[in-house]
Amino acid sequence: MSEPASRRLLLLASKLGYQTRSFAEAARRLGVEVIFGTDRCHRLDDPWGDAAIPVPFERPAEAATRLLEACAGQRPDGLLALGDRPLLTAALVAGRLGLPGNPPAAVEICRSKLRQREALRAAGLPVPEFTSFSLEQDAVGISRRVRYPCVVKPLVLAASQGVMRANNPDEFIAAVQRLRTLLESPEIVVLREPESRRILVEDYIPGREVAVEGLLSAGRLRVLAIFDKPDPMEGPYFEETIYVTPSRLPEPTQQAIRDGCERTVRALGLFHGPLHAEFRINDAGVWPIEAAPRPIGGLCARALRFGPERIYLEELLVRHALGLPGAELSREPEAAGVMMIPVPRSGVLESVEGEPAARAVAGVEELHITARLHDYIAAWPEGASYLGFIFARGARPEHVEAALREAHARLRFLITPRLPVEHPASGRLPARAE
């Protein structure tokens, strides 16, 4: 595979953390120049030395204009958005530069769990019964009208943050109050999400859950991987743990998932770029849970490798964004998986033990502890960040799953309670300081 000519990639992300660095490193290995766009404070004078363009992702039209002005004279040849917040800005920039991307209207639908449910229902896909209400409405009255079990969700936020199952009216009222506290916390309010004052309630869908990683090229969907989620996703919270591919589901079921993904993409109007989608499977069929026009989150992209050179998903997506050779490579035949190391309880991470023993497990290839020592980390449903990631490969999916579980069992995390301290801006105590 020949090395590409020098290109320029615009990489949009809310924070320049480990996922962003992973994509930037993949681009630089290809000799690609990277321009960062992020929504950090514009008053900071390049504190991390990355020359990132500060833009307000909560105001996508303004953010797109700023990016285009800043990139005048160094026009990007492609762009990638990581996470949900930059997606609409990316769509607007792509449209104005004539780069392949998704229609802004389709991205707006995907950014709202409510609008996505409405679009899927209108297209005839199986969706649960759902309703939406504002934080100002009476949860007690609403609790008498919903069916149980149900799932309470914010319309915005990712990584299952704020998502809770309720089996009866008392649990529903408690879940709504807990979600209200989260959505009114300074950490969420500062994001200025337009739908952060509304809540979605839908029937709980029983069954197994899978994730699909896909890639759209001018409307044509290519499924890169179907990930099994072997741990039951039954609530009361929905923190994810293990992803393993290839799927062990029967081939007819996998084909039904691929077909459901095609229908989901068409219903949402998505056209070009990465896709991450999640589905539930039961006797009634394949139910789309959510689809997002972005790559899988965190470091999870490292679970997927392609072609004889075993390039990671990050490089594949960079090549695709820039129209370079190599984006068509097939996934390696070996089974692979990742564990997003769960947060057992909220508190301050004081120490991590057992890393050498975990890395020594047969089949384990990488272990990354991404949570910083002495920082506060929140458990689900308030949380949205994992302690780290474990990667394994093997001849069969069950071997990979066993290696991930064994490595995790060898790790020890000391997490101590955090004393409640008033927020300096709001004067409020943190949500559920535990």
* 140 & 96 share domain: no
Residues 6+ apart with CB under 8 A from 108: 88, 115
Closest by Cα among 318, 307, 347, 333 to 396: 333
DSSP class per residue in 117-146: HHHHHHTT-----EEEEETTS-HHHHHTTS
User: What is the total count of domains within the chain?
Assistant: 3
In a domain, 180, yes or no: yes
In a domain, 408, yes or no: yes
- Strand pairing report for 347-353 and 412-416: antiparallel
Task: Quote the pLDDT of residue 39.
Answer: 87
Is the CB of residue 84 less than 8 Å from the CB of residue 158?
Answer: yes
Torsion, Cα of 220, 86, 345, 341 (10° steps): 40
Q: By three-state DSSP, how is residue 381 classified? A: coil
Q: Which two tokens stand for residue 86?
A: 């930059």
Residue in the structure block whose two tokens are 């109050």: 177
C-alpha gyration radius of the chain:
21
- What does DSSP assign to residue 31? T
Give the count of alpha carbons within 13 A of 243, CB side only: 25
Distance CA 246, CA 428 (A): 47
Q: Return the beta strands (E) in 164-296 as ranges.
A: 164-166, 198-203, 208-217, 220-228, 242-245, 273-282, 285-292
Q: What share of the chain is helix, strand, coil (3-state, %, to 5)?
A: 30, 25, 45
Stated pTM of the model: 0.92
* 344 & 403 share domain: yes
Distance CA 103, CA 68 (A): 18
* 96 & 159 share domain: no
Residues 6+ apart with CB under 8 A from 202: 117, 127, 128, 129, 130, 131, 150, 151, 153
Task: Quote the pLDDT of residue 76.
Answer: 97
Task: Quote the pLDDT of residue 5.
Answer: 52
Q: What is the CATH number of the domain that holds 398?
A: 3.30.470.20
In a domain, 38, yes or no: yes
- Identify the domain boundary among 51, 83, 102: 102
Is the CB of residue 94 less than 8 Å from the CB of residue 86?
Answer: no
* 81 & 13 share domain: yes
Looking at residue 312, its amino acid is Y
Task: Quote the pLDDT of residue 46.
Answer: 45
In tens, the pLDDT along 278-302 reads 999 999 999 999 999 999 999 999 9
**Termini Cα distance of the chain:** 52
Looking at residue 380, its amino acid is W
In a domain, 135, yes or no: yes
Cis peptide before 103 (omega within 30 of 0): no
Q: Which helix (H) or strand (E) holds 340?
A: strand 335-340
Distance CA 290, CA 153 (A): 12
* 34 & 97 share domain: yes
* 432 & 339 share domain: yes
* 72 & 141 share domain: no
Torsion, Cα of 4, 18, 111, 106 (10° steps): 0
In a domain, 254, yes or no: no
| Sheet hosting strand 8-13, strand order edge to edge | 53-54, 33-38, 8-13, 78-82
Q: What is the CATH number of the domain that holds 193?
A: 3.30.1490.20
Task: Quote the pLDDT of residue 313.
Answer: 98
193 burial (CB, 10 Å; 0-12 / 13-18 / 19+) is: buried
* 91 & 148 share domain: no
Q: Which residues pair with 79 in a beta bridge?
A: 10
Cis peptide before 149 (omega within 30 of 0): yes
Q: What is the CATH number of the domain that holds 18?
A: 3.40.50.20
Q: Which two tokens stand for residue 69?
A: 């002005």
* 141 & 78 share domain: no
Distance CA 397, CA 367 (A): 18
In a domain, 275, yes or no: no
- Identify the domain boundary among 137, 169, 203: 203
Task: Quote the pLDDT of residue 41.
Answer: 55
Structural domain that includes position 393: 334-434
* 96 & 164 share domain: no
Intervals of the chain under pLDDT 50: 2, 4, 42-48, 433-434
Task: Quote the pLDDT of residue 256.
Answer: 98
Is the CB of residue 390 less than 8 Å from the CB of residue 408?
Answer: yes
- Identify the domain boundary among 62, 84, 102: 102
Task: Quote the pLDDT of residue 1.
Answer: 52
Distance CA 228, CA 303 (A): 13
Residue in the structure block whose two tokens are 């949402």: 268
Distance CA 179, CA 200 (A): 11
In a domain, 43, yes or no: yes
In a domain, 430, yes or no: yes
Q: By three-state DSSP, how is residue 370 classified? A: coil
